[in-house]
Structure 1
Amino acid sequence: MAHDEGEVYLIPEFDHPDDAIDFLKDYYVEIFEHQLFSWITDDNLWPDNLSWELFNSWFHYSIQSMVMDTLGEEIEKDEF
């Protein structure tokens, strides 16, 4: 997985990693749907129950506390 071309989602800063996981539990469906749509746009072919357990079995994620912007350019936001 050295170059897995994974997605990066910025989340609010938290004092404790468990708080970041709690945040992820609140927003995982949006992330799940975004990932599924990037694979197949027909949502009739998606799993019926996008549960937290299924999310955890399909995706590897990690919570990072630091992001470094090395480009010095304006950040563009994509809507999803």
Structure 2
Amino acid sequence: MELYDINRYALIVTPSEALLRWAIREDASIEEEIDFEDTSDLTTVYLMPDFDEIEEAEEWLENNFLPILENLLGEWVEDDSNWPDNLAFNHFEKFSDYTITNMVIDTQDASYDQDEED
């Protein structure tokens, strides 16, 4: 197996305990689905553009967090009328545990995602 370095950053997002507790208040039936000791199976990875410095990635996130936050909230509470009003970056910070990394490695070659042609 060969490894292929992807010239992209990745945003790794896990719902925070605050988000999960809020979601349970909205729908108590989901509590049995959540293991607060191990939330790794709730993690989502978002590929970001390539940047020269991590600070650029952080700035990009601050300017582009809204669709990611909406996706995160929507996974737990579908009715957006129950979401907080005027979503801001501090909501993203409250409702997610996140990491940005510049080490993105693909274990498949470039043709992996291409459609096979007969």
Shared fold (TM-score greater than 0.5)? yes
- Corresponding letter in the other structure for 2:113: E
Q: State the percentage of identical aligned residues.
A: 35
Name the structure where strand makes up a greater proportion of residues: 2
Give the CA deviation at 1:29.
0.7
Q: 3-state SS of the aligned residue for 1:62?
A: strand
Give the CA deviation at 1:74.
0.8
Q: Which residue of 1 aligns with 2:48?
A: 11
TM-score after normalising by structure 1? 0.80
Name the structure where helix makes up a greater proportion of residues: 2
- Corresponding letter in the other structure for 1:4: S
- Name structure 1 gaps, 5 residues minimum: 76-80
CA RMSD of aligned residues (A): 1.9
Choose the corresponding residue for 2:113, options 69, 74, 78: 74
Which structure ranks higher in relative contact order (CA pairs < 8 Å, sequence separation ≥ 6)?
A: 2
Instruction: Extract structure 1 runs of 4+ deviating beyond 2 A.
Output: none
- Name structure 2 gaps, 5 residues minimum: 1-36
